[in-house]
Structure 1
Amino acid sequence: MIVTTARKQASKLEGKAKEVASHLNGLFIKRDDASVDELLNTHKSKVIVVAKSRLTLYTEDRMEPFFYHPSSAMFRVKQWLRGMRDPLVDVADLKEGMSFLDCTLGLASDSLMAKLAVGEKGCVTGLEANREAAYIVKEGLKEWQEGPKEMIKRMREINVIHTHHLPYLQQASSSSIDVVYFDPMFEVHVETSAGIKGLKGIACHDDIDEEVLFHAKRVAKKKVVLKDHWQSERFNKFGFKQMKRQHAAFHYGFIDVTTNRGV
């Protein structure tokens, strides 16, 4: 993997670019006048461009570039701060001080909503299987400056870990996290923003299965929550109670693990 700078203020960005390259075991290359396409063609490798305000990942297959952006979370956050309800918070029954494990972090939109709901005393951890995506989102959450102060504050408190969710769940203690959450890639195509399109090209597409659900239910203290396309078979296949939302392309479902434990 190649790491370089944006053309603008390249000399000032070289230190940061070298730091990114070191963290991701990449190779720092001076930008000079080369275009991103030229770098991709020359090095036959992914390219991360370090700019003043963001990191952008370009892949050899010329898919949409990937960078951090709050995406739909910005709108949801503003609604939440005005006292409106959020479907994830409702389904997961998130309260201040609870813990939330996002097994499919992506752009951290749902993790951000969860962090707003559980507050400063609560804990939100996001798992991302793709190394570059995990790093870019982690840095984005630390550096993003636009939006309500409460949102910025909670962004900084999300714990991002580069790992696949299965080994993490296998090693986690039973009943150690209040809510375990999954947002796998939809089985049915849905039109998405550029940010999400960039994620689709690099995201882990491993489906959830019986082993994953076994450990998720073991680790969860209260609920396992799934977000999926409204036509997805995963809800019935894995026993999630689907909460239908009129005119919404995706629904949430949940498994109440306290029922089986008699809590």
Structure 2
Amino acid sequence: MSSPRRAEGDQVRVLLAEDEESFVEALEVGLAREGFEVVVARDGTEALASFEETRPDLVLLDVMLPKLSGLDVCRAIRARSTVPIIMVTAKSTEIDTVVGLEVGADDYVAKPYRLRELVARMRAVLRRAPGSGEAREAPAGNGPEVVAEDPDDQVLEVGEVTLDVARHRVWVRGQEVQLRRKEFDLLTLLMENAGRVLTREVLIDRVWGSDYVGDTKTLDVHIKRLRSRIEEQPSTPRWIVTVRGVGYRFERPH
């Protein structure tokens, strides 16, 4: 179940789940100044209750919440809604990033952060959210076999992977696999350009948007997760290969 969008011109409602009072006060003032309506929850249980009551457009979710962790809150929200979620935490190691993204977060910001960076990320995920009206630009390229004349029914087949663009479905060696939205967009872009090297900058720009202000760790995490779902041996990938110092390429079968 997705949160309903308010009428155009209304304030964007943000659920801020944070228990550090200094951050709460600063964000309430800063986000209000940027035009957001802020609803505050100071523990995980309150965050879930507030989510149901207020139907926010975006959730800023601290990982280390009392009563119920931010990761558990994220899982619970994802089970019922596609609302954008940005995880906010004092931790910034790769494993923490992986866990946050695995449970369904759209982005990940480590403390301390600048308000300008946070707001830029918030606006970016809101533009990419379902129902926002932003369409992903499809890259040009003749790499894969396209099985359909109608672009709306486009099916890509490269090697052992078949991807149905319109129906958001993927099969690997005949078995259907489940991908999150960003994983699907990334795989689509790679398969559309099969045999070509796509730089890290191009991948981030096309999948996360030209206004993405984070580092490239998020891309690496998504590539790692895609390999775990597609490759028979993810540690020695056959299909999604790294071109050192440049980016990634989806291999065409020889």
TM-score computed with the length of structure 1 as normaliser = 0.33
Q: Which has the higher contact order (CA 8 A, sep 6+)?
A: 1
TM-score computed with the length of structure 2 as normaliser = 0.33
